[in-house]
Amino acid sequence: MDTTVDLDTFSSLVERPDESARRAADERWQAAGRPRGGLGKLEELGSWLSSVQGRSPVRPVSAPKVLLFAADHGVAALGVSRLPAKGGTAARVRAVLDGTAPVARLARRYGADVRIVDVAVDADPADFPDEVVTHRIRRGSGRIDVEDALTPEETVRAFRAGMAVADEEADAGTDLVLLGDLGVASTTVAAVLVGALCGTDAAAVTGRGSGIDDRVWMVKCATIRDSLRRARPVLGDQLALLGATGGADFAAITGFLLQAAVRKLPVVLDGVVSAACALVAQRIAFRAPEWWRAGQSSGEPAQAKAYDRLTLTPLQDQGITMGEGVGALLALPLLQAAGDALADEAPQPYVPPAPKEQPKLPSAADLLRRL
């Protein structure tokens, strides 16, 4: 199997959101006689929605989707999390599926669908519905402090799986993705990627994750330190970095973020995991972050460093550290409010100029045929 991906393709395919639509949204608000800044952050969010939709007046968010990538990580065996290394991720997946997890309850409240993509949960795939495991790459991953998380072939497969999920959501009519993750020890992996890409030492990116005490924090910090030594030699190759010190979920989320930007599908990031993947994706396509918003600040130092590099400001600061897309989901009412409040403030809609003939936005399959 070909184990290469032409990452340079994304840099040319990812366009900026429609600046004309953004300006039109700003002008409509002023023309309506409203005080500038009167709706605060909602005005900026409404203009962003106009730009990513390519239209003004903005279309209210009507088909949001919580998207959770699930995987286990070998470093969990070192006890870097309060959650059980064996079976912890699978239990969280089942809680979402049966509707008892916080993200499932909140999604029902806010009218969002929930989708889980199991790419590397250490469980029998027969334990979950077929639609959950259709993109499964492997069970678990290598212990990144001493070995690669994935083989080169698995890394490419995971990356392409994320691209395929982006195509599936865009084709299904999803108009906003609330991105999250399910995985024990995933904050350790995220800290390694952020530390490597930002050039910081382990202590600067080691957070409390699942609520660990000082003793476990020191174990986690040492694990991140050893993993950083393995990450630095492959910093110039994003896929190699994801394979060496990431995991199937990190590779898939990175592929998803890039292809979502190609398909002009806006995404709200959640915690430190999606922030770390966004940082990797930015290295591949520098315009891609304009299609994302940061849902919340979790208090993880690695997340703060990633958002600083991405120049993204969290919409909220609720200190939610559990992942599962909860932080991103809590930003949904703000985006819904922005769309609702600014949708019909002026009588004349913005009509974009007649576009030149442009090719259909390429799907993952199209891109792969070029490789």
Q: Catalytic positions, please? A: 324
Whole-number Å distance between alpha carbons of 288 and 270: 16
Strands in the chain per DSSP E: 64-71, 113-120, 176-182, 267-269, 292-294
Distance of CA 197 to the CA centre of its chain: 17
Dihedral in degrees, nearest 10, Cα atoms 358, 342, 340, 19? 20
6 neighbors 238 (Cβ within 8 angstroms): no
Closest by CA to 123, choosing from 142, 138, 104, 135, is 138
Closest by CA to 317, choosing from 327, 329, 326, 302, is 327
150 neighbors 142 (Cβ within 8 angstroms): yes
166 neighbors 157 (Cβ within 8 angstroms): no
Angle CA(295)–CA(84)–CA(242) in degrees, nearest 5? Answer: 55
Cα end-to-end distance, the chain, whole Å:
12
* 247 torsion bin: left (phi>0), alpha (psi -120 to 50), beta (else): left
